[in-house]
């Protein structure tokens, strides 16, 4: 097993405050980190935490969820059915830039004389602030205060402010820019790391009509290949002396240049409102008018009013969804809250979209949607923002025709969802660790089942969910086959991408069994609930007489590997025949293995990129007995590299369930600090969103011991000894269940009657007062 490096947090950006990430001095060596951890988003639009003046920088980016360019995938040796068109989320024109010059000297770190330089993320309010004092070569002391946030209530809006003053007369110039950085430099980039995004060597954004009015500029764009339309614009509000105004305009760059002859008694404030929206394939007058209306509304509300709205929005979120851990150190509590902010802000304003692997904090993995969202993030959304969970699952439904076509191309019945995608088409060029991960079908069904059972949203099941469930059941029945009274599934890849194209992957088979059984239940339930409506759905999906019975029989006959000698579930039919990886002689510099060893080398050994069987033990825990779970964990944990950020959280949950307290805390810490501590060495590419969701799961499913099998809430707490209590809330079927856990008891408060099981005993939590269960 790879040795996990102890978490070391840079003191420069982590003060003693559970609500603030503070950079108390300019730290250029940490730009790669702060651009990610200071990133701001609302799930619709996102901006990395780059400096207001733009330079120095590591990776600057502003993104719209789903806005992408396409490109031809070139295969050295092509074959039928391989993905042909790649999709990459691209950075849109940057409207965050505010450049300052005093007496002809540009403010540029680190070349100016710095007196004070602090930047901090207010986690409680979702606002990034910056306080700077510097002295110009002309002797002027300049005070600057920046503020930036992405509105959580207005999906297309980014807000910023600069307050500037001087201690003696000075000539001051502020340039506010909208800059198309994407097409400034043609760069093929370094594509040796498959996790990074495609770099374009040709122009992506083609400019279209632009409008200029007072201090407002709006530009239309269209992507060269995908034909997606974009509108981006900015407007300004100024207070203080009247400026001299000139325009700085080029094909890639538009700027308003404001100049003043300032005195110490008259500072200036520049409020900047930036909007961006993708609008079909040809933004026209109506779309520009809509952008104008957004800017009008923002200016009327003002920065102070918008910031107050932001604070109120997050106050409601924290009141309902904060996780308060008594006895934990400040670093842990702050990291938990930062993680919760990432999960909420990357899902707050979703529309016709899912959550990319890096959210909108970076464009690694090309901004694609994976199975990660359904398995690691949707559980958080179900209990905190079920409307967002519904949006994510609805977006899968919107991909249904693409999924049908993909199944047809691969000669399957039913549907097959793409392994990685933005627009619904398969974009994975490496089919062994991509398309072959057929388990994504069952992963989506697992999320649908959990959503319906916990929220009670039967209408979603009727309108969209059932069609996905039934079509995927058709797929599994077609993919598998019977041999010796068992139903087998061959030629697939499970979650562990260090083992590919295997027969009877245990995770895939177990999840497919769940999918088939749930499909049978859905048929039984819907046909009894509303026979006429069921007949319509049955005709639409094409369900033959007796087909549901075939699903149940296949599920009952599903082959799940088992080794009697070791008493474990083999990951697949051949896994135990392989030689174990030589961890002892693999230096730290050789991780992740995927960047240092050929896939065929890795495939020959017993070595895991991430939890596979152990993940099945958690997701389908009711189907594995405690002894088998323990044997599986003890066997696979030492073989797991953790090269995937998806692993540590699952290992933490299962460690907690099995009573391995120190291992549970060790794995939890590595999931918790995956980005804040740059555990994987690639925080610069964006937040690991699935790991963030896994942190919530580790707290709720791991340390609180919550399970929600078939919608029934139960607790078997495993809270760390060093913590004294943990308090959180869960949204269940339209109500709220408040939970306070200590080592002696668990206190449950609900606004409506709910049955909760605590360590095997059922308790009815009635409205008013609280139910205290002693442990």
Nearest CA to 421 out of 366, 495, 499 is that of 366
300 is catalytic: no
Nearest CA to 355 out of 370, 375, 365, 340 is that of 370
Please enumerate in sequence order all residues whose Cβ is within 8 A of that of 617, keeping only pairs 6 or more positions apart, or say none.
624, 628, 629, 632, 633, 654
Distance CA 286, CA 428 (A): 36
Sign of CA dihedral 105, 108, 114, 117: positive
Which tokens sit at 424? 């619904």
Counts of helices then strands in the chain (DSSP H, E):
19, 32
Beta pairing partners, 772 = 747
Provide long-range contacts, Cβ within 8 A and 24+ apart, for 540-548. Answer: 540/467, 541/467, 541/470, 541/471, 541/474, 543/470, 547/474, 547/477, 548/519, 548/520, 548/523, 548/524
Contact 520, 545 (CB under 8 A): no
Look-up of token digits 């964990």: 633
Beta-strand relationship, 481-483 and 324-326: unpaired
E strands in 499-624: 579-580, 605-606
Q: How far is CA 309 from CA 338, 343, 739, in A?
A: 20, 19, 28
Which tokens sit at 346? 């990357």
Which tokens sit at 179? 């800059």
Q: How far is CA 287 from CA 159, 230, 278, 300, in A?
A: 20, 10, 9, 20
Phi, psi of 360, rounded to the nearest 5 degrees: -115, 40
Nearest CA to 719 out of 661, 758, 772 is that of 661
Contact 493, 500 (CB under 8 A): yes
Nearest CA to 460 out of 544, 386, 542 is that of 386
The one-character DSSP state at 675 is T
Query: Which one is catalytic: 69, 129, 471, 497?
Result: 497
Which tokens sit at 711? 């919608």
Please enumerate in sequence order all residues whose Cβ is within 8 A of that of 178, keeping only pairs 6 or more positions apart, or say none.
93, 94, 95, 97, 217, 219, 232, 233, 234, 253, 254, 255, 274
Cis peptide bond upstream of 409, omega within 30: no
Phi, psi of 765, rounded to the nearest 5 degrees: -95, 115
Q: Which residues are catalytic?
A: 497
């Amino acid at each position: 097993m790879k040795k996990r490096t102890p978490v070391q947090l840079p003191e420069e950006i982590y003060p003693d405050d559970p609500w603030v990430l503070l950079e108390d001095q300019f730290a250029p060596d940490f730009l790669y980190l702060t651009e990610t951890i200071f990133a701001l988003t609302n799930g619709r639009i996102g901006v990395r935490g780059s400096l207001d003046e733009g330079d120095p920088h590591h990776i600057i980016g502003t993104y719209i969820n789903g806005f992408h360019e396409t490109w031809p995938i070139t295969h050295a040796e092509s074959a039928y059915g391989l993905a042909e068109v790649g999709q990459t989320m691209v950075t849109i024109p940057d409207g965050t830039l505010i450049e300052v010059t005093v007496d002809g000297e540009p403010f540029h770190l680190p070349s100016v004389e710095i007196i004070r330089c602090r930047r901090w993320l207010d986690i409680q309010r979702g606002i990034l602030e910056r306080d700077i004092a510097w002295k110009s070569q002309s002797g002027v002391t300049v005070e600057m205060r920046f503020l930036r946030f992405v509105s959580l209530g207005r999906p297309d809006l980014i807000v910023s402010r600069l307050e500037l003053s001087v201690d003696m007369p000075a000539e001051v110039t502020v340039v506010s820019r909208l800059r198309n950085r994407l097409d400034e430099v043609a760069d093929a980039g370094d594509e040796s790391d498959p996790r990074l995004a495609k770099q374009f060597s040709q122009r992506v954004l083609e400019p279209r009509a632009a409008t200029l009015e007072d201090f407002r500029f709006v530009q239309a764009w269209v992507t060269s290949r995908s034909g997606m339309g974009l509108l981006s614009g900015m407007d300004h509000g100024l207070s203080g002396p009247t400026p001299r105004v000139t325009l700085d305009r080029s094909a890639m760059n538009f700027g308003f240049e404001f100049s003043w002859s300032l005195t110490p008694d008259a500072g200036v404030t520049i409020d900047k409102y930036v909007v961006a929206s993708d609008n079909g394939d040809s933004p026209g007058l109506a779309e520009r008018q809509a952008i104008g209306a957004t800017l009008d509304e923002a200016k009327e509300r003002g920065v102070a009013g918008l910031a107050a709205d932001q604070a109120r929005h997050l106050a409601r979120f924290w009141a309902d969804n904060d996780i308060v851990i008594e006895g934990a150190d400040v670093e842990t509590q702050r990291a938990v809250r930062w993680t919760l902010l990432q999960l909420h802000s990357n899902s707050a304003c979703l529309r016709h979209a899912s959550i990319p692997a890096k959210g909108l904090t970076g464009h690694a993995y090309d901004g694609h949607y994976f199975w990660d969202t359904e398995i690691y993030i949707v559980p958080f959304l179900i209990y905190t923002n079920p409307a967002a969970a519904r949006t994510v699952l609805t977006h899968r439904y919107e991909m249904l025709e693409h999924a049908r076509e993909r199944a047809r191309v691969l000669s399957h019945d039913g549907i097959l969802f793409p392994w990685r995608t933005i627009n619904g088409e398969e974009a994975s060029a490496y089919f062994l660790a991509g398309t072959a991960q057929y388990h994504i079908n069952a992963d989506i069904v697992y999320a649908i089942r959990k959503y319906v059972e916990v929220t009670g949203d039967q209408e979603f099941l009727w309108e969209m969910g059932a069609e996905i469930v039934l079509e995927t059941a058709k797929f599994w029945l077609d993919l598998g086959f019977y041999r010796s009274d068992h139903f087998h599934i061959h030629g697939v890849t499970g979650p562990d991408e260090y083992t590919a194209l295997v027969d009877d992957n245990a995770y895939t088979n177990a999840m497919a069994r769940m999918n088939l059984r749930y499909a049978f239940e859905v048929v039984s339930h819907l046909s009894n609930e509303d026979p006429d409506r069921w007949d319509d759905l049955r005709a639409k999906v094409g369900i033959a007489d007796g087909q549901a019975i075939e699903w149940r029989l296949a599920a009952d006959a599903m082959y799940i590997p088992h080794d009697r000698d070791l008493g474990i579930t083999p990951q697949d039919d051949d896994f135990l025949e392989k030689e174990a990886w030589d961890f002892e002689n693999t230096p730290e510099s050789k991780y992740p293995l995927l960047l240092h060893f050929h896939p065929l080398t890795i495939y020959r050994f017993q070595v895991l990129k991430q939890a596979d069987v152990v993940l099945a033990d958690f997701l389908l825990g009711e189907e594995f007995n405690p002894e088998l779970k323990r044997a599986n964990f003890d066997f696979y944990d030492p073989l797991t590299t953790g090269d995937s950020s998806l692993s540590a959280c699952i290992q933490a949950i299962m460690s907690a369930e099995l009573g391995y307290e120190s291992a549970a805390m060790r794995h939890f810490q590595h999931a918790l600090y995956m980005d804040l501590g740059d555990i994987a060495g690639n925080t610069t590419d964006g937040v690991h969103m699935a790991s963030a969701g896994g942190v919530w799961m580790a707290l709720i499913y791991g340390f609180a011991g919550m399970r929600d099998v078939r919608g029934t809430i139960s607790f078997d707490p495993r809270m760390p000894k060093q913590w004294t209590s943990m308090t959180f809330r869960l949204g269940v079927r339209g109500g709220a269940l408040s939970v306070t856990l200590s080592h002696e008891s668990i206190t449950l408060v609900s606004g409506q009657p709910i049955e909760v099981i605590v360590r095997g005993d059922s308790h009815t939590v009635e409205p008013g007062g609280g139910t205290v269960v002693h442990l």
